[in-house]
Structure 1
Amino acid sequence: MSETNGTTPTGADSGPAVPPRPDTPPLGPGAPQPPYSSWNATAPIPTGGAAFGYPSPHAPAPKKQPRRFGAPVLIGGMLAAALVGGGTAVATGYAVNASGPAGLTAVSGQPVVINNPENVTAVTAAAAKASPSVVTIEVSGGNASGSGSGIILDAAGHILTNTHVVTLGGEVANPAIAVRTSDGQVHDAKVVGTDPLSDLAVIKIDAANLTAATLGSSSSLNVGDTAIAIGAPLGLSGTVTDGIVSTLNRTISIASSAVPDAPAEGSQDSSDDEFNFQFPGQQEAPSGQGSIAVNVIQTDAAINQGNSGGALVDVNGDIIGVNVAIASASSGSTASGDSGNIGVGFAVPIDYAKRIANDLVAHGTATHGLLGVTVQAKAADTASGSTSFSVGAEVRSVSGGSPAEKAGLKQGDIITGVGDRSVEDSLSLTAVIREYAAGSQAKVHFTRDGQPQSVDVTVAEVTE
């Protein structure tokens, strides 16, 4: 549906609800591999590793004064993080040149020695645990080429990354992909599935002795928690940067990495925004390309071109997000390889990414929820009668036969939340509804005639 009277369509083309797909198995160390014939659809979805949690009272001190560990604690931490040797962590750096598949060449890695085991920080142990599960990805097709990062999901060789990495921002439909693992080996990869609406993708390599990542829980994060970005910025494999979780559930709009005629439901005119949100290294979106709305983790850990698809890690070395975008000033300057990182980076939360990855591995595609309403931002009421703050998404129209109509939503209702997430405008409503799988149930909170109400809605499926 096209925009009308300043409103923004949010799934107005909905039809009958699509039944949910059977639960797909979790990804992570020890997870069963396809075809998953014995998967128990009623079993809870594991996190791919140990239960998420922040150690107390052993949590790290603020970044400026990192916690230091004595030798006994260090040794135990190293064992947990799969470090090699007494007091020596082995990491590897590699060169990228024009030879080999998609420009990758494996070279001998040099061990990085921990010179002072008495003063190793928590970031050191977390990075050492997660780094073997992060790969460098080179993509080429036609006259285009680029690089990014990825996260090893299981021993079968499934790797989670961004759709914009494997399609070069929507430019390449049939890419040649090469993956360099942390041991310096280079492997050809094939695309298992892409999901432009979350900008996530899964590729696969055939390789032995892969180290699957431990997937954490983004729902357990706090603002201020340590965040560690691991990837290959500017092609520099195995790069680690650290910072904090700056905020949670930030809704941003980024270019769709699908073909230019992909739907852009829920997008808003961002010409007046102070910042643009874009893929690291992207100068501007291709002409005619749509946009997607995504809820993300914001971090000040440095994210640059090549970090896309890489890991955002917590202090335990568990994956909490998939690095996806950066912010740049709307004046046209970019926070990428030219002007550098400005400390505002974004990652797709791992809780959302796990669902998408499971669907892509099992089916090659993923589903997204559709509500079936057209909305606009509802301004907060003030004594002066004018404000730039919005407090919800006001329903302007409800599509006939849509999930919204079946649930009883009406024109004039102001949607203020979905589940435990707040809704401020059409963009945040679109982003949170898209996180639900087609056929699943979402609790929508709204006000009608000033009275708060809630209703359960079985969402339909977004179709292109």
Structure 2
Amino acid sequence: MSDTIPPRPPLPGQSRSTTPAESATPPVDPAQAPYIAPHARPLDGAGAPPAGASFSAAPTGIHPTVPTQPYGAPQASASAPASDGKVGAGKIVAIMVAAALVGGAAGLGGAAAGASFFGAAQTVVTSGPSTVTVNSPDDVNATTAIAAKTVPSVVTISASDGSSGGTGSGVILTEDGYVVTNTHVVTLDGATADPSLRVTTSDGKVYQATIVGTDPMYDLAVIKLTDAEGLTPIEFASSGDLNVGDQTVAVGAPLGLANTVTTGIVSALNRSISIASSAAPETPSEGEEGNESPFQFDFGQGEQNTTASGSISIAVIQTDAAINPGNSGGALVDGDGKLIGINVAIATAGGTSTEAGSIGVGFSIPSDIVQRITDEIIEDGAATHGLLGAMVGDAAAREGATTAGAYISEVTGGGAAASAGLRAGDVVTSFNGLPITDATDLTAQVRALAAGSTTTVVYVRDEQTQSAEVTLGELEQ
């Protein structure tokens, strides 16, 4: 499988220096292919892609020049029952208190130079600590209901290391203040292991926070708000139950605009991407046989961050809900307002890494993976990841290939793959019940499972399809 990613030469002007938590392997040249960007943006606006790059990074966790507090006065919200019969609306709207209407000019507030987004007075429906404005209660739809349910569970995170900083999003896990976000948000793209964190809830309350643990292998982190109580935890749904075409709603603080809601659908499932890590392990045990990933990752720190990064492969949900810089670590929810993913990266076309935005190709870490990893971090301070013990490459890229999959070029003696009977020359086509089309897929799915997990691997040997049970080892981090 893939654990040891061979070192690549630094790009012109890049430093090979590292921090203790990071790999010395620099990212792949962005000019080689389209690439994925995390939702993190630097305060200095640096980080333009190399000339000739067909795609440019659009970090989505950190953004310059915008405050972390919600714009305008905090407004409690809810919505009236939907009358259009849209899917999911009735169930969620029924939870809300439609009777508590607040009249008058409860405006959204001017995000730009004090300008108001609305020319007339607005009516706001109140139902707990959220900020969802409703101008026409009789016309409330499913998205309004989903937003009113979800917004109180999403926070804005401000991180600083004294010399630089930025904002991202997070999702409340418990009433007493455990919050999940991305590693690249709380480490300022790997620039610091000891940031100063300030968290603002949807109703405008501000908390100090500390890091409970980070998981750079899946770009997830858990932080704990100080002296928090009575918060609104997100409700989880199983990402394993999703269908392509299902409704999605993304909630977060793009460009520092807290309590922002965007809608879309599940564009693709069982997608895997290879991106740079803000704190990759120094000596991973298996790797993708020198493959050049079709995706690149720019955390947006530009010249501020001279630390080279390793790469990670993660399984993601693809959505066309608009995700922009600042959405990193925020919620992707379904038609019932339940968490199905944590937003992590976007693909962008044109522009610079700090100015490009959503083009409708966004990625979220599936909720089933998020729940496992965050539970382990809260319990033990760290999460485990599976290890297959094999070197793999893309089967379809090999001369004379007849099938897509992950081609095993080498098996580690005594490792999980060898113990399961896998050997060099096998092509893995399915793992844990999911299709495998290349080395990135296999790496991502192995890492998604905890160390010691037992699952089924399907492979092709001598044009014959076979299967085996494999018990994964543990990736050293």
TM-score computed with the length of structure 1 as normaliser: 0.74
Q: How far 1:266 moved relative to its partner? A: 3.5
What's 2:93 paired with?
Answer: 78
Q: Establish whether residue 378 from structure 1 lines up as the match of residue 391 from structure 2.
A: no
The letter for the 1-side match of 2:92 is G
Q: Establish whether residue 140 from structure 1 lines up as the match of residue 155 from structure 2.
A: no
Name the CA distance, whole Å, in 2 between partners of 1:70 and 1:258: 47
Name the CA distance, whole Å, in 1 between partners of 2:468 and 2:459: 8
1:406 to 407, 419, 429: 419
What's 2:229 paired with?
Answer: 208
What's 1:250 paired with?
Answer: 271
Q: How far 1:307 moved relative to its partner? A: 0.3
1:326-364: per-residue Cα shift (whole Å, max 9, x none)? Answer: 1134xx744x65122211110000000000000000000
Structure 1 segment 36-435 matched on structure 2, within 5 A: 69=84, 77-80=92-95, 82=96, 85-86=99-100, 112-205=132-225, 206-258=227-279, 261=282, 263=284, 265-267=286-288, 273=294, 276-278=296-298, 287-329=307-349, 333-334=351-352, 337-379=354-396, 391-435=404-448
Name the CA distance, whole Å, in 1 between partners of 2:293 and 2:415: 32
Name the CA distance, whole Å, in 2 between partners of 1:402 and 1:264: 11
1:87-114: per-residue Cα shift (whole Å, max 9, x none)? Answer: 6799987989xxxxxxxxxxxx996542
What's 1:101 paired with?
Answer: none
Q: 3-state DSSP class of the match of 1:447?
A: strand
Q: Among the aligned pairs, what percent are the same residue? A: 49
Name the CA distance, whole Å, in 1 between partners of 2:137 and 2:469: 54
Name the CA distance, whole Å, in 2 between partners of 1:204 and 1:95: 29
TM-score computed with the length of structure 2 as normaliser: 0.72
The letter for the 2-side match of 1:242 is T
Q: Residues 390 and 293 from structure 1, CA distance in 2 versus in 1: closer, same or farther, beyond 3 angstroms? A: farther
The letter for the 2-side match of 1:291 is S
Q: How far 1:145 moved relative to its partner? A: 0.4
The letter for the 2-side match of 1:398 is V
Q: Verify the 8 A CA contact 1:266 1:427 in the aligned structure 2.
A: no
Q: Verify the 8 A CA contact 1:261 1:288 in the aligned structure 2.
A: no
Name the CA distance, whole Å, in 1 between partners of 2:380 and 2:216: 15
1:390-442: per-residue Cα shift (whole Å, max 9, x none)? Answer: 61112111111111111111111111110211112211111000011111102
Name the CA distance, whole Å, in 1 between partners of 2:172 and 2:245: 27
Structure 2 stretches lacking a partner, 5+ long: 9-81, 113-128
Q: How far 1:255 moved relative to its partner? A: 1.2
Name the CA distance, whole Å, in 2 between partners of 1:418 and 1:268: 19
Structure of higher RCO (CA pairs closer than 8 Å, 6+ residues apart) = 2
Q: How far 1:265 moved relative to its partner? A: 4.7
Name the CA distance, whole Å, in 1 between partners of 2:172 and 2:456: 33
The letter for the 2-side match of 1:397 is E
Name the CA distance, whole Å, in 1 between partners of 2:258 and 2:335: 21
Q: 3-state DSSP class of the match of 1:391?
A: coil
Q: How far 1:124 moved relative to its partner? A: 0.9
The letter for the 1-side match of 2:262 is T
Instruction: Indicate the RMSD between aligned Cα atoms, in angstroms.
Output: 3.2
Q: Verify the 8 A CA contact 1:87 1:117 in the aligned structure 2.
A: no
